[in-house]
Structure 1
Amino acid sequence: MSSVWRDFSVSTGVAGFVAVLVGFTSSAAIVFAAAQALGATPAQTVSWMWALGIGMGVSSLGLSLWYRQPVLTAWSTPGAAVLAVSQGVSLPEATGAFIVCALLIMLVGYSGWFERLMAKIPLALASALLAGVLARFALDAVGAVAHAPVLVLAMTLSYVLGRRWWPRWSVPVVLLVGMAVAALQGQLHLASVAWTWAVPVWVSPVWSGAAMVSVALPLFVVTMASQNLPGVAAQRASGYDTPVSPVVGATGLASLVLAPFGGYALNLAAITAAICMGKEAHPDPSRRYTAAVAAGVLYIALGLAGGTIVSLMAAFPQALVLALAGLALLGTMASGLAVAVKDEQHREAALLTFLVTLSGVALMGVGSAFWGVVVGGLAQWWWTRRPSASN
C-alpha cells in the first residue's frame, strides 16, 4: 500500500471526487425512479443505494489496485431507465431477473466472447465513440450558461487560466471556484446534508418467465451495448490495455452477489472513467489508477451512508455539476477526436460513429453508443471490402 500512497496526489483525489459527483448527480434520480416503479419501499430504496455504492466501490477499488490501471465501474443508467418503465413486474420478480442478467454478463465476460468482439473494433471507431459520448457533456456545460451565467463563466475562466498557468491543477481550481461562486450566490447547501447509515434489505427472488423477457434480457442488452461497450472504448482510447474478459466478468459477479439487495446491474464506466483516465487527473498515466481508487473509496462511503444521497445531490447546483463535467472531460474528448480522424482510412467511418453517438438516438431500447459503432463499423466494412471476382 505504500506504493499507492506514493502514487496518490491531490489531482487524482479530486478527479476521483469529480467522477463520483458526476456519476451520482447525473443519474441517481433514474435509479430512484426504477426502484419506485418496481414497488420498492423507502427502506428498500436505501438498500439499492447501499448495494450499488458498495458494488461500485469495491469493484473499482479492487480492480484498479489489482491491475494498477484506472478501472472505474458504475451502475447501468440505461438499465435503470428500462426498469423505470417496467409494468406489472414485482420487486421479487425483478430480483430474479437481476440474477439472470448478472449470470449472462458473467458468461459473456469470462468466456471471452465480449473481448473478441471488442478486438474487431478499430481504435479510430472506439475513439470516435468515446468522443461522441463525452461531447454531450461538453454541450450540456455550454447550455448551462443560460441558467447560471456567472457561475459557469467563472468556472470556464478559471479553467482557461488554469490550463495556461497550472495545468495539473486546473480541474481542482475549477471545482473550488465553482463551489465559492455557488456559495456566494446561496446555491451551495452543504449544511443541509444529513448523514445517516444505510441498512441492506434482502429481497428473495421469484422466477418469472415474463420478468426474464421484459426485464432480464433488455437489462442485459442495454448494459452490454450502452455501458460496457463505451467503457472498454474509453480504456482503449486512453491507452490502457486492461484485460476485458475478467473485468467484465467481475462486474457480473458483483451484480450477482448484490442483486438481492438492489444491485440490479454493474458495468464498466465510460464518462466518469474518462475523468480518471485523462491527463488532468495526473500527467503520469501510470499513476492515474489512484483516481479510480479514490472514487472507489468514496463510492463505498456513499453506499454505507446511502440515506444521505438525496440531500447530497441537492447540495450542489446542477449547473455546477454540468460545467465541471464538461470542462473536466474536454482534454479526453479532444484526444479521442484526434485519434479518430488521424488515420485517413478510418476517418469517415469514425465521423459517422461520432455523429450517431452524439445524436443520442435510441432504437429498440438500445442507446446511441451501440448504434454509432454499428453504423461506423458497417460503413468501414463496405468501403474497405474486397470487390467480388464477378465485378
Structure 2
Amino acid sequence: MPSASTSAVHSRAPQEALGPPVTAGVVTALVGFTSSFAVVIAGLKAVGANQAQSSSGLLALTLTFGLGILFLSWRSRMPVTLAWSTPGAALLASAGMPDGGWPAAVGAFLMVGVLILLTGLLPVLGRIMAKIPTALAQAMLAGVLLPLCLAPFKSLGSAPLFVAPVVLCWVLLMKFAPRWSVPASLLVALGVIALHIASTGVHLPVESLLPMLEWTTPTFTVGAAVGLALPLFIVTMASQNIPGVAVLKSFGYTTPWRSSMLVTGAGTIAGAPFGGHAINLAALSAALAAGEEAGKDHGRRWIAAFVSGIAYLVLAAASAALVTLVAAAPPGLLEAVAGLALLGTLASSISSALAAAGERIPACITFLLAASGLSIAGIGAAFWALAGGILVRWILKSREPVQKA
C-alpha cells in the first residue's frame, strides 16, 4: 500500500505540472500587452480616432485575439498565440489620417480582415505574398518605424524631466532583464503621468475609465485602400504572421495556417467597426508560451497559450483606463514609450533588409521612401516605398545579364 507521503506527492503532481504553463501564459499576456499598447494608441490616434474610439479599438483588439487564442490553442492543442499587429500600428502612426478621416481608416481595417481571411481560403494569395521580396518588406517596415523610434530622443530635448526617467529605466532593464524593459519603462511613464496629473489638477472623468465598444460605420476610399489597407496587410503578413509560423516551428510545432488565417481574418473583420486595425499570429511573444519556460512537457505547452488568452481578456477591462491615463500624459511621453517599444523591431528590420548584398540598393530606396513621409494622390509613403523598391529592384536585376556579358 502506498504511504501517505507518496499519495500526497502524486496528488500534487498535476498541480505542479500546471505551474510552469500557467505562469508562462500570464507572463506572455503581460509582456505582450504592456510592451506595445502605447504603439496601438498612437497609431489609432494618427489615423483620426478620438479618445473614445482609441479606447474602443484597444478593447476590440484585445477581445478578438484573446478569444482567438482560446479557440486555436484548445482546438489544435498547440501553443498558438495571437496579438494585435504592432508593426501595423506603427504604420498607422506614420501614415497619418487618410482622406475620409477615421471612417475611411475603419474601412481600410475591414479590407485588411477580408484579405487575411482570403489568405486562408485561397492558397494563391499566400503564394503572391511570398513573392514580395523579404528585404523590401522589411525595409518598408524599417522606414515606417524610423520616425517613431526617433521620438524618445527628440522628446529628451523638449521634455527631459518627463522622458529621461523612462529612457533610463529602459536602458537599465535592457541590461539586466531585457524582456521587461518596455513594461518597466511603461510603469515609470505611468508614474510620471500620475505625478503630472496630481501637480496640474487634471480631472479624469469616471465614465472614461470604463471599457466600452464604440461603433464606427466604415467608408471606403481608393486612397485608404491603396495607401493604408494594402501596406497594413503586407506588414502584418510579413512581420507578424510569417515570423509567427517560424517561431512555432523553431520549438517543434507546425502552425495550423489555414485555421489561424480564418480566425484572425474573421477577428479583424469583427473588430474593425469598433476600431481594431488587425490581429495576427504572435511573433516575439509566441516564444514565451512555446518555449521551455512553459514547461518541459512539449504536449502541454498549449495550456500556456490558453491561459494567455484568459489573461488578455482580463487585461481588456483595463483598456479604457490606460487610454484615459495616456491622454493626460505630458507632450512627447507617449511617443517616447512607443519609440522605445519599437527599437528592437527597427533593428531586426534593418538587419534583415540589408542582409543580402544584392538587395541593398532597392532596400535602401524602399527604406528612404517610407521614412520620407511622401504622399501622392492621397496615398501614403508605405505604398510608394514598396512600389519604388520593386521598380528599382526590377531595373537593377534586368541589367545584370548585360553587366556579366
Task: Tell me, yes or no, whether TM beats 0.5.
Answer: yes
Give 1:224 deviation, angstroms. Answer: 3.7
Call closer, same or farther: CA 1:375–1:337 in 2, change over 3 Å.
same
- Matched residue, 2:230: 225
- Matched residue, 1:234: 239
One of 19, 27, 40 as aligned partner of 1:23: 40
One of 170, 174, 184 as aligned partner of 2:181: 170
- Matched residue, 1:73: 84
Listed as ranges, the matches of 1:247-266 within 5 Å are 247-257=260-270, 262-263=273-274, 266=277
CA contact 2:162–2:192 (8 Å) conserved in 1: yes
- Matched residue, 1:358: 371
Q: Tell me, yes or no, if structure 1 residue 324 matches structure 2 residue 337.
A: yes
- Matched residue, 1:333: 346
The superposition leaves residues 241-300 of structure 1 with CA deviations (integer Å, 9 ceiling, x where unpaired) of: 7677654543442354467xx347642479xx77747x9x89969979999989966775
Give 1:349 deviation, angstroms. Answer: 1.4
The superposition leaves residues 357-379 of structure 1 with CA deviations (integer Å, 9 ceiling, x where unpaired) of: 22222334433223222222222
Moved more, 60-69 or 122-131: 60-69
CA contact 2:118–2:125 (8 Å) conserved in 1: no
Secondary structure in structure 2 of the residue aligned to 1:144: helix
Listed as ranges, the matches of 1:56-95 within 5 Å are 56-59=65-68, 62=71, 68=79, 71-73=82-84, 77=92, 81-84=98-101
One of 136, 149, 168 as aligned partner of 1:157: 168
One of 152, 159, 172 as aligned partner of 1:148: 159
Larger Rg: 2
Q: Distance in 2 between matches of 1:140 and 1:15?
A: 21
One of 181, 202, 220 as aligned partner of 1:215: 220
The superposition leaves residues 5-59 of structure 1 with CA deviations (integer Å, 9 ceiling, x where unpaired) of: 24336476234223223312442474545x9xxxxxx9x9987776555335434
Q: Distance in 2 between matches of 1:110 and 1:79?
A: 31
- How many residues are matched? 359
Call closer, same or farther: CA 1:48–1:354 in 2, change over 3 Å.
closer
Listed as ranges, the matches of 1:1-391 within 5 Å are 2=18, 4-8=21-25, 10=27, 13-28=30-45, 30=47, 32=49, 51=60, 54-59=63-68, 62=71, 68=79, 71-73=82-84, 77=92, 81-84=98-101, 103=114, 106-107=117-118, 109-186=120-197, 192=204, 194=206, 195-196=209-210, 198=212, 215=220, 219-235=224-240, 236=242, 240=247, 247-257=260-270, 262-263=273-274, 266-268=277-279, 276=285, 300=313, 311-385=324-398, 387=401
Give 1:130 deviation, angstroms. Answer: 2.6
Gaps of 5+ in 2: 1-16, 250-254, 295-300
The one-letter code matched in structure 2 to 1:54 is L
Gaps of 5+ in 1: 36-41, 88-93, 206-210
Moved more, 15-24 or 291-300: 291-300
The one-letter code matched in structure 2 to 1:196 is L
Moved more, 332-341 or 178-187: 178-187
CA contact 1:128–1:337 (8 Å) conserved in 2: yes
CA contact 2:58–2:276 (8 Å) conserved in 1: no
The one-letter code matched in structure 2 to 1:150 is L
The one-letter code matched in structure 2 to 1:153 is A
Give 1:356 deviation, angstroms. Answer: 1.4
Q: Distance in 2 between matches of 1:29 and 1:117?
A: 30
CA contact 2:31–2:285 (8 Å) conserved in 1: no
Task: State the identity %.
Answer: 29
The one-letter code matched in structure 2 to 1:192 is L
Q: Distance in 1 between matches of 2:213 and 2:259?
A: 30
CA contact 2:26–2:307 (8 Å) conserved in 1: no
| TM-score, structure 2 as length reference | 0.67
The superposition leaves residues 144-173 of structure 1 with CA deviations (integer Å, 9 ceiling, x where unpaired) of: 223321222222222233333343433333
Taking only aligned residues, the RMSD between alpha carbons, in angstroms, comes to 4.8
Q: Distance in 2 between matches of 1:231 and 1:4?
A: 27
Q: Distance in 1 between matches of 2:96 and 2:24?
A: 35
CA contact 1:134–1:329 (8 Å) conserved in 2: yes
Call closer, same or farther: CA 1:306–1:320 in 2, change over 3 Å.
closer
CA contact 2:61–2:279 (8 Å) conserved in 1: no
